[in-house]
Structures are given as structure tokens and as C-alpha cells.
Chains A and B, each alone.
Chain A
Amino acid sequence: MITVLIIIAVLVVLAGAGVAVAKRRSSPVLGAGATAPQRIEQVSPTPAVPETTAETAPAEVPMEEGDSVAPVVTPAVEVSDGIPPSVAGASAKSRGIFAGLRAARRLKAIEPSTWDELESSLLRGDVGVTTTTRLLETLRAEVAAGTVTDGSGLLERLRTLLIETLSQVERPEHGELSLEAEAGRVPVWLLVGVNGVGKTTTIGKLAYRAGGEGKKVLLAAGDTFRAAAGEQLATWGARSEVDVVLGAAGADPSAVIFDAVQRAGARGFDVVIADTAGRLHNKVNLVEELKKIRRVADREPGQVTEVLLVIDATTGQNALQQARQFTEAVAVTGIVLSKFDGSARGGVVVAIEAELKIPVRFLGVGEHASDLIAFEPTAFVDALLADDPVA
């Protein structure tokens, strides 16, 4: 380790020296003394979040009884567009994996090109090389054994295999999220994920959903890093008629969440849904901060009952890495696949469930508060494979 440091130091210094020499040569008139370039202070790569502990410094948020924070921006989106969201509806806008395989379906015998097409289709759906290879191997074995003989049988079998893969992980029904906290403790749902996946929007939808089930929900604006993240959550709170605890910009996120938990405990809320700042899973210090947030949220009177990782459906194979790292850090209990209404199919969650055994719990399918649907393997696989539903 020290050697690595010294090597770096040496190489860098030599490079610096080289620059000095080269400069001196190129500008002999100036002389050696004039060659030093100006210094630029490098800012620390980590956000400046003060490391105060929750007990000593709860965020100062004035909140009257039952008073929600006023929205900063007028909501531009209605709570619902009146059309109940569905997986099929979300996927109807795009072409699924089977769209390119319609010819294959009519094949009496399976041709070599069919395998290529099948592979291409799965890879294009972001299912990933490993899972695709595994699926194709199983299918090849079955074709060789003679249990599958024609094109439509092959595609049907692929569908079944995918559904089976997604049925191995235990998943609460109807997207139910756990409220099972010890007596006297407030359940906390923690939302985590990389930047821009839609954590705040997902919280708005979860709040709307829980509120609709008659639960008293308190939102905690734990993203104190991104500018105006708190305002965004406040807007969602107003839209879903749910109270929000805000922290000052740059405040300790743990403190904001702990403050919300304490208020929830004192005022008899059923659940706290906590937002966190987006962070890349390979940033050690930010992941450490997240671990701390989880520890603090789990302190009495709070109890973390769900840690939901939000994954953007447009994400490719990196989603696997995200799931791995976040689970290792904060024990993720479920995945929310957001932006499923786009043209990406989010096939990587098949790999995530198969490899990491983390259940997908919800699909985000739009910008309305009601655009969140409970994940169900068959519907998802049909959307993933959708045979050009537009036609």
C-alpha cells in the first residue's frame, strides 16, 4: 500500500518535473523562476456533509401539528390521469423481445438462425450475457432431448423459464411493504439508489399508495445534498396530502431522518418514508454515509422495515453491480424498477433476482402519483417479451 503511494508520488513528481523542464526550454526568455504555473486548489471530491450525530443535532424544522410544508412549485402533474396503470399499458408503447421473433414463432423446426435471433433479442432486452447464455443452454438441452420441437414451443418455453426464474425469490403479494416493527417503534422505509433513478418520485408514489390505504405517512427529506431535492419532495407531499420533514441544505441526512422518526413516534404516524441523496455505489465515503443513515433510522423509536433500491429501467448491466453493492452496504429488501414506461425493458432485473435473490417489488410506469404497480412475474415477463402489442 505504501509502495503504491510512493510510486504514485514519484511518478507524479517526475511528470511535474518534466513539465517544468519542458516549459523552461520552450520559454527561455522567462527564465526558470517564471515557470511555476499557478496553483488551483482541488476541492474535496465528497459532498461537505457535516458529521454530526443525530442525538446532538437534530435538524431544526418547524412543523406544526398536522401541518405539511407548503409546496414551492405548483404541481404540474395530476395525481392520476384517470387510467389505471398496468404493465401491459406501459409496455404497449414499445416493442418487446419477441417483436423481432414473430417469424420464429411460425417455424415448424428450429433453425440455427433462430438461436441467434433469440440470443440477440435477450441481449437487446438487457438480460445480460450470463443469464442469456444460461437460458439458451437450458433451451438447447430441451431441444436436443426432443421435448421442444417447434418455434412457438421454444418461445413458450423461454417465457416459462423466465417466469420460473422470477418466481424463485419470495415476494410479498400485491406489493405489500412491511410495517412489522416492534411494539412502540415506527416502521421506516428507506429509499436508496444512484443519482437520477427516481427515488424522490417513487417516494411520492409510495406515499400516495400508503395514504390511499388509510395509513398516516410522514416523509423525511433525507436528500440534503442535491439542490432543491427537499422542495421536490415537499411538492410530492402536497400532491399526496402527506406531511414532510425538511432539513436545511447540507444538513446531516441522518439527523433529518431521525428527527422525522421522532416526530412520527410522538404523533402516532404509521410509517416514515425516508429519501436519501443519490449516490454511486462505488463511492466508499458516500456508501459509509448511507450505512450511518440506516443505523440511525433503525434507532428507537424507529425501525427500518424496508430498504428499497430504485433502479432505472434504462440501466444496463451496471444495475447488477448497484444491487450487489447497495445490498452489501444496507441490506436491500426489495427493488423498485422505475421508468418502465420508456422504451427500455429492464431485463437486468432477471439477472438481479437470479443472482442476488432480491425481489423486485414495484414498477414505476409514469409521472402520476398512481403510476406505481406491484411487480408480478407473469405480467412482467409478458411485457419483457411483448410480441409487438401495437400491431
Chain B
Amino acid sequence: MFDALSDRLERIGGRLRSRGRITPADLAEALSEIRTALLEADVELSVARAFCDNVAARCSVEVLSKSLTPGQQVVKAVHEELIAVLGGETLKISYASRPPTVILLAGLQGAGKTTTAAKLAQWFKAQGRNPLLVAADLQRPAAIEQLRILAEQAGVAFSSSGTDPVDVARHGVEEGFRLGRDVVILDTAGRLSIDQALMAEVAAISAATAPHYTFLVIDAMTGQDAVHTAKAFDETLALDGVVLTKLDGDARGGAALSVKYVLGKPIAFASTGEKLGDLDLFHPDRMADRILGMGDVLSLIEQAERTIDTEQAAQSAARMLEGTFTFDDFLDQMNQVKKMGSIGGLMKLMPGMSKQMREAASQIDDGEIARIEGMVHSMTKAERQNPDLIDRSRQARIARGSGRSVADVAQLIKQFKQMSKMMKGLGAGKMPSIPGLGGGLSGARQMAQLAKSDPAQLQQLLGQAGGGGLPSAPWAPKAPGVGGGAGSKNKKKKGGRVTPPKGR
């Protein structure tokens, strides 16, 4: 999500950073480009204008002339403004002293209210709460059935009795109280903000249930109308925040920025996938970092912490830095990484990654990983411990064993050796210069220093690394050879399956 916006801003920022002096004309040009980038990302027009005005205010001629790195100053101003627009703090749910805490979801048709209701229930359950889902959408055919099935999948209680949405909701809250549920989530029918009868209905539901939190569910792909809609809902319901859905698409999510900016209501939750577990609190500062291509190291570390066997990882990292890294370690790491989710998703959290690298990574699928694993599995134990053993005939055997070409095997081994040499250099405190390993490598180097620091410092280090003008790694798409050099464009193989360009 937000990728295209971040790519644009990255490019504008990169160009500014490279300049020693920034004239008012340069600034005006950059601001106009930023405005276009925001508009193309569906940021509402007045918000885009205000955004640019505020950035301009932070970059007055005096400020820029005093700064030694004026380009960096502009990037910083954009970053600060983004954080301001996205809303500084992560929402902290305060539960009602007399349970249940009632949560009302409203929104347009198809925004994803029903799915969000179930995801929220699962989220509250994971927080140790005991939620009840109430289906008060009597409009859309089978909406009740949908929520009932989802409630079952999430393993939470479900209620929907009555023929009038207001009664269903009121009864749901009473039911929650009776059953001792501490959170009640009300799903309502989708409605247009201009449909007065239906807006009056949702207002009645709100009045009857006195929700502690009222969230507007907004599709991340919404265009300029988002602000209009959000205002109308806010006037009717006094919103507490927004749940942003379908963030796993390639929409640039400008609507989210705008709604926050115009209403001043935080983006409380964001949903990033089709599974019930794909919903989490929204962290505005991290998102601003991500938009500016600075990665989101905190989220990455949290994710790693949840899934990775850290002891094993520490040992493996130590071996890596000593230069005794083997194919067995590599396999082990691949397995760890696989557990963390999609490679493309992880790449977005990584600081200093260029668009090309992200694109290359987002094309990596499990099949590709399986093919690499296949090659490693076709090696003998001795070969895995000592890749130098592998000569031509062994390569041919490995290729036969894994159903790959000899060239593929040779490539893997070459890359592996290169990496392990580089890592050894990293451990020794040297900074080997392998062409094309710009951002990723200095990121890794910062990470290596982590052993001597704490995660907060790491975050800071990496924030600097990302923002400090790392060269965009120019290597991923330029690979000659198998990929045909067409870079990030999808390539079709004979199976019709889209695979990443190989090479390098």
C-alpha cells in the first residue's frame, strides 16, 4: 500500500537531497510534484493543497539558507507533515468500566464492514477479551449468514434476533451483558451518506446502544468522495475513528490521509488481508516512514519476534559474521523468513529498499523459494557445509536432483559465496563494496551493530539510514541474462505463471 506515493516522494526527495542549494523555484517545482503525487494517490484536493502549504511554511527561505543540507530539510518537512496528517498517536482502546464495551461499525456498501467486524472480534479475542458479534445488517441478502459463519471461524459468540436493525442492535447489547461478554461489535448495513432515511436509522441504532466507539469503515481505494462521506457520517454519528480496509491492494490510500486531516479523527485500525487475523492497530508514525521509503523496522522486529526462534537466529547470525555460514544455516533462515509472511510484505518494512528491489521481491512466490530449497536439498551434507567442494560434475548432479538447470545451480552457489564473503567482511567491521548493494547492505551493517545497542537505538539508526540518502539499489532490474533485462515488468513463462526476473 502507499507504494506508488512513496516511490514518487522518494524520487522527489532523492533529487532534492543531491542539491547543495535549493532556490525558491526548486522548492516550488518540488511542491507542485508533491501535489500531483498526492492527488494521484487520491488525497483530497483541499488536503493536498494544505499539505503543500504547510510544507512550504516549514521550508522558508531563511530556514533553507541556514541549513547545510537544505534538501534533507525539505524531506524532513514532508515527513513531519505526513506524520501530522496521519495523526501522531496509535489508538489505545479504553474499555468501559461497566462492560460490555460497545463498538459500532458504519460505512458505505462494500467497504468491508462485515469482514472488519469479524476481524475486530478476533483481534479483541487475541487481547484476552470476550467479544460478541451482532449482525444488524438486515439489508444485504445473506449478510447475517456471512457474519454468523465468520463468527464461527473466529470462535466468538454471535447474535442477531429481530426484524428491525435498531431492535437487533439493542437486543445484541443486552445479550452481551447477559452473557457476560465484555466487547460487543455491531455490524450495520452499508448506506450512502446522502440517503437520509438510512442515516437516520444508523443514528437510531447509535442512540439505542450508546456505543463507546463508533468507527467508520473506509475502503483504501476510495477517491475524492471519501472526505464528503466521512463528514456526513461524522455529523450523524460523532465518529471516534476510522478503520481502513483493503490496504493490501496497490491503492495509494490518499483517502485515509484526507479523512484524518479533515475530521481530525485517527485511523484506529487497518486491515491488510483476507484472513481474519489480518487486522491490527494503525501506527501513524510507522506508516509515514513507510510512505517515505524509510521502512518500518519496528513492525519488522515485532513480526520477527513473534515468529522467529531468536536463540537459533542469534547463533546463525554469529556464524554468519564469522564467515562460517553454511547452506544449512541458509535453509534454516529461509524457513524462518517464510514463517513471517510474504517476502514482498517484508520488503516493504525494510529500510533503504528501492522500488525495483521491492518489485523484484514482491514477485517472489513460495514456488520460487521451494525451487531454491530443492537445489539445496539436492546437495550432500558435506557440500552444504562446504560449498567449495561443489565442482562441475557435482553441479550437474545437483541440477538433475532438483530438476533445475546447471546454470541455476551455479548461480545459486556463486551468489551464496558472494554473500557469505560479504557477511564475513561485515563481521570484521569492514564495508565491502559490492556493486549494487547500497541500501540493503548499510541497513544490514546498522543491524549488525544492534548487538551492541537496544532496539530503540536500532530504530533510530535505521531511520537515519533510510532517510539519509541511501542510494537506491540499482541492481535488481538491470540483471542481464535469464530475465531478459526487462527488469521489473512481469515476465511470462510457459506455464503462464508470473515469475520474477532472475539473474544476479
Interface on A for B, CB 8 Å cutoff? Answer: 1-23, 25-26, 32-33, 35-37, 39-43, 45, 47, 71-73, 75-77, 93-94, 120, 123-126, 128-129, 194-198, 225-229, 231-232, 234-236, 249, 280-285, 288, 291, 312, 314-319, 321-322, 339, 341-345, 348, 367
Contact B246 A316 (CB under 8 A): no
In the complex, whether B39 has a CB less than 8 A from a CB of chain A is: yes
Nearest A residue (CB) for B42: A316
Stretch from B56-64, B81-89, B338-346 forming part of the interface with A: B338-346
Contact B225 A3 (CB under 8 A): no
Chain B contacts of A2 at CB under 8 A? 372, 411-412, 415-416, 504
Contact A316 B255 (CB under 8 A): yes
Contact A45 B342 (CB under 8 A): yes
Chain B contacts of A280 at CB under 8 A? 246, 248-250
Task: Report the bound CA distance from A73 to B135 in whole Å.
Answer: 13
Contact A314 B451 (CB under 8 A): no
In the complex, whether B26 has a CB less than 8 A from a CB of chain A is: no
Contact A12 B340 (CB under 8 A): yes
Report if A1-B502 is in contact (Cβ < 8 Å); known contacts: A40-B307, A47-B274, A315-B222.
yes
Task: Report the bound CA distance from A322 to B313 in whole Å.
Answer: 40
Chain B contacts of A22 at CB under 8 A? 450, 454-455
Contact A18 B333 (CB under 8 A): no
**18 additional contacts, CB 8 Å, given A5-B343, A45-B341, A232-B146?**
A1-B360, A2-B504, A16-B304, A17-B313, A36-B311, A37-B306, A40-B307, A42-B307, A42-B340, A45-B273, A71-B141, A73-B144, A129-B36, A196-B111, A281-B249, A317-B40, A317-B223, A339-B108
Contact A9 B221 (CB under 8 A): no
Chain A contacts of B339 at CB under 8 A? 39, 41-42
- What distance in Å separates the Cβ of A108 from its nearest Cβ neighbour in chain B? 27
Report if A7-B108 is in contact (Cβ < 8 Å); known contacts: A20-B313, A229-B142, A288-B497.
no
Contact A126 B223 (CB under 8 A): yes
Leading 9 A-B pairs by shortest Cβ distance? A316-B223, A196-B110, A316-B42, A18-B450, A20-B310, A235-B141, A16-B313, A344-B225, A227-B149
Contact B138 A11 (CB under 8 A): no
In the complex, whether B330 has a CB less than 8 A from a CB of chain A is: yes
Contact A123 B224 (CB under 8 A): yes
In the complex, whether B320 has a CB less than 8 A from a CB of chain A is: yes
* Contact among B111, B148, B320, B501 with A13 in the assembled complex (CB-CB below 8 Å): B320
Contact A3 B415 (CB under 8 A): yes
Interface residue tally of chain B, by bracket?
Answer: 35 or more
- What distance in Å separates the Cβ of A219 from its nearest Cβ neighbour in chain B? 13
Tell me the total A-B contact number using a CB cutoff of 8 A: 319
Q: Of residues A13, A47, A195, which shows the largest number of chain B Cβ atoms within 10 Å of its Cβ?
A: A13
- What distance in Å separates the Cβ of A190 from its nearest Cβ neighbour in chain B? 18
Q: List 16 A-B contacts (CB under 8 A).
A: A1-B503, A6-B330, A7-B441, A16-B304, A16-B336, A17-B313, A17-B451, A37-B305, A37-B306, A45-B342, A76-B138, A232-B143, A249-B149, A282-B250, A322-B221, A344-B225
* Contact among A40, A124, A228, A344 with B143 in the assembled complex (CB-CB below 8 Å): A228
Contact A42 B341 (CB under 8 A): yes
Report if A318-B304 is in contact (Cβ < 8 Å); known contacts: A73-B141, A342-B192.
no
Nearest B residue (CB) for A338: B110
In the complex, whether B440 has a CB less than 8 A from a CB of chain A is: yes
**Residues B26-63 near A (CB distance < 8 A):** 36, 39-42, 45
**Residues B233-274 near A (CB distance < 8 A):** 246, 248-252, 254-255, 273-274
Nearest B residue (CB) for A7: B440
Task: Report the bound CA distance from A45 to B301 in whole Å.
Answer: 20
Chain B contacts of A321 at CB under 8 A? 250-251
Chain B contacts of A195 at CB under 8 A? 110, 112, 246, 274
Contact B307 A10 (CB under 8 A): no
- What distance in Å separates the Cβ of B367 from its nearest Cβ neighbour in chain A? 10
In the complex, whether B128 has a CB less than 8 A from a CB of chain A is: no
Task: Report the bound CA distance from A249 to B145 in whole Å.
Answer: 13
Contact B223 A14 (CB under 8 A): no
In the complex, whether B498 has a CB less than 8 A from a CB of chain A is: yes
Chain B contacts of A1 at CB under 8 A? 360, 364, 368, 500-504
Chain A contacts of B225 at CB under 8 A? 126, 314, 342-345
Chain A contacts of B347 at CB under 8 A? 4, 8
Nearest B residue (CB) for A346: B223
In the complex, whether B91 has a CB less than 8 A from a CB of chain A is: no
In the complex, whether B207 has a CB less than 8 A from a CB of chain A is: no
Nearest B residue (CB) for A132: B39
Chain A contacts of B110 at CB under 8 A? 195-198, 312, 339
- Chain B 360-371 interface 0/1 with A at a Cβ cutoff of 8 Å (1 = within): 110111001100
Task: Report the bound CA distance from A249 to B148 in whole Å.
Answer: 14
Contact A9 B330 (CB under 8 A): yes
Chain A contacts of B219 at CB under 8 A? 196, 312, 314-315
Chain A contacts of B503 at CB under 8 A? 1
Nearest A residue (CB) for B249: A280
Task: Report the bound CA distance from A33 to B454 in whole Å.
Answer: 19
Contact A17 B314 (CB under 8 A): yes
Chain B contacts of A124 at CB under 8 A? 45, 224
Chain A contacts of B166 at CB under 8 A? none
In the complex, whether B431 has a CB less than 8 A from a CB of chain A is: no
Report if A315-B221 is in contact (Cβ < 8 Å); known contacts: A15-B304, A194-B246.
yes
In the complex, whether B323 has a CB less than 8 A from a CB of chain A is: no
Chain B contacts of A18 at CB under 8 A? 301, 447, 450-451, 455, 458
Task: Report the bound CA distance from A47 to B274 in whole Å.
Answer: 8
Task: Report the bound CA distance from A77 to B198 in whole Å.
Answer: 14
Task: Report the bound CA distance from A216 to B366 in whole Å.
Answer: 44
Task: Report the bound CA distance from A321 to B36 in whole Å.
Answer: 17
Report if A15-B108 is in contact (Cβ < 8 Å); known contacts: A40-B306, A343-B194.
no
- Chain B 432-471 interface 0/1 with A at a Cβ cutoff of 8 Å (1 = within): 0000010011011001101100110010000000000000
Task: Report the bound CA distance from A7 to B475 in whole Å.
Answer: 13
Task: Report the bound CA distance from A235 to B251 in whole Å.
Answer: 32
Contact B142 A120 (CB under 8 A): no
Nearest A residue (CB) for B48: A123
In the complex, whether B275 has a CB less than 8 A from a CB of chain A is: yes
Chain A contacts of B415 at CB under 8 A? 2-3, 6
- Chain B 103-144 interface 0/1 with A at a Cβ cutoff of 8 Å (1 = within): 000001111100000000000000000000000001111111
* Contact among A21, A36, A73 with B142 in the assembled complex (CB-CB below 8 Å): A73
Chain A contacts of B108 at CB under 8 A? 314, 339, 342
Chain B contacts of A45 at CB under 8 A? 273-275, 341-342
In the complex, whether B388 has a CB less than 8 A from a CB of chain A is: no
Contact A16 B447 (CB under 8 A): no
Chain B contacts of A345 at CB under 8 A? 225
Chain A contacts of B390 at CB under 8 A? none
Chain B contacts of A120 at CB under 8 A? 45
In the complex, whether B423 has a CB less than 8 A from a CB of chain A is: yes
* Contact among A32, A76, A129 with B311 in the assembled complex (CB-CB below 8 Å): A32
Chain A contacts of B232 at CB under 8 A? 343
Nearest B residue (CB) for A26: B454
In the complex, whether B334 has a CB less than 8 A from a CB of chain A is: yes
Report if A228-B149 is in contact (Cβ < 8 Å); known contacts: A12-B333, A13-B317, A17-B318.
yes
Q: Of residues A7, A94, A231, which shows the largest number of chain B Cβ atoms within 10 Å of its Cβ?
A: A7
Chain A contacts of B318 at CB under 8 A? 17
Task: Report the bound CA distance from A232 to B448 in whole Å.
Answer: 54
In the complex, whether B193 has a CB less than 8 A from a CB of chain A is: yes
